[in-house]
Amino acid sequence: MYKVFINDVPIILSTDKNIGAKYTSISIKKAKIKSLIKKVSKGEIEHLHLYHKKEHKLLKHLKKKLKVIVAGGGLVTNTEGKILFIYRNKKWDLPKGKAEKDETIEETSIREVEEETGVENLKIGELIKVTYHILKRKGKYRLKETYWFAMTTDYAGDLIPQENEGITKVKWKNKKKAKKALKKSYENIRLLFPDDFFEEEVTS
């Protein structure tokens, strides 16, 4: 199963023909995707489900219908265990950006974190997740496929927001402040954190 977001509304992609009465279920092969995106954006469809019996063909069909933008980003922690956030378009987000020609996705992810935040000495770890969302570029819908990596750094210097990318703030946040920031973030960013991250801490 995959979740592909339009803003914070997920389109569910799965191998099941029916996942519940509230969902509009359509074969991904037959789906008129651009028309469906418009209806979801306008709130005419609140729960959309696209299906195919073979899981590996779900994204394959979607990528035939929408041009793909590949991006990479990082969930970065420092030596104090604080998490690196950026603030853009009135939302807290994590640093990420579009892959350039002849870059590996790991190289993209490190470069974008450095460019958007000024943070250096990054060590890249495991791939946490690949997220998908649909956006509009020059009047056309695109599928953004973002590879998110765990990263660590001992960098203790200044944080420099990349203002020409619309970033107005860069902050290190402890767990309490990170949880608060994620309430003003995007659903696909919240997916990068384990469920127990959001549990209330019990104090004795």
Per-residue three-class SS string for the chain = CEEEEECCEEEEEECCCCCCCCCEEEECCCCCHHHHHHHHHCCCCCCEEEECCCCHHHHHHHHHHCEEEEEEEEEEECCCCCEEEEEECCEEECCEEECCCCCCHHHHHHHHHHHHHCCCCCEEEEEEEEEEEEEEECCEEEEEEEEEEEEECCCCCCCCCCHHHCEEEEEEECHHHHHHHHCCCCHHHHCCCCHHHHCCCCCC
pLDDT in tens, 32-75: 999 999 999 999 999 999 999 999 999 999 999 999 999 999 99
Task: Tally the C-alpha atoms within 13 A of residue 64's C-alpha that lie toward its C-beta.
Answer: 9
Lowest mean pLDDT among 54-58, 130-134, 198-202: 198-202
- Structure tokens that stand for 6 in this block: 């339009």
Q: Are residues 51 and 27 in contact, defined by beta-carbon separation less than 8 angstroms?
A: yes
Closest residue by Cα to residue 186 from 133, 127, 117: 133
82 vs 110: CA distance, rounded Å:
18
pLDDT of residue 201: 60
User: Which residues, 6+ apart, have CB-to-CB distance to 112 below 8 Å?
Assistant: 71, 72, 73, 74, 95, 96, 97
pLDDT of residue 199: 79
All domains in the chain, ordered by first residue: 2-65 (no CATH), 67-194 (3.90.79.10)
**β-bridge pairing 96-98 and 83-88:** unpaired
pLDDT in tens, 133-188: 999 988 999 999 999 999 999 999 999 999 999 999 999 999 999 999 999 999 99
Q: How many CB atoms lie within 10 A of CB 58?
A: 20
pLDDT of residue 203: 52
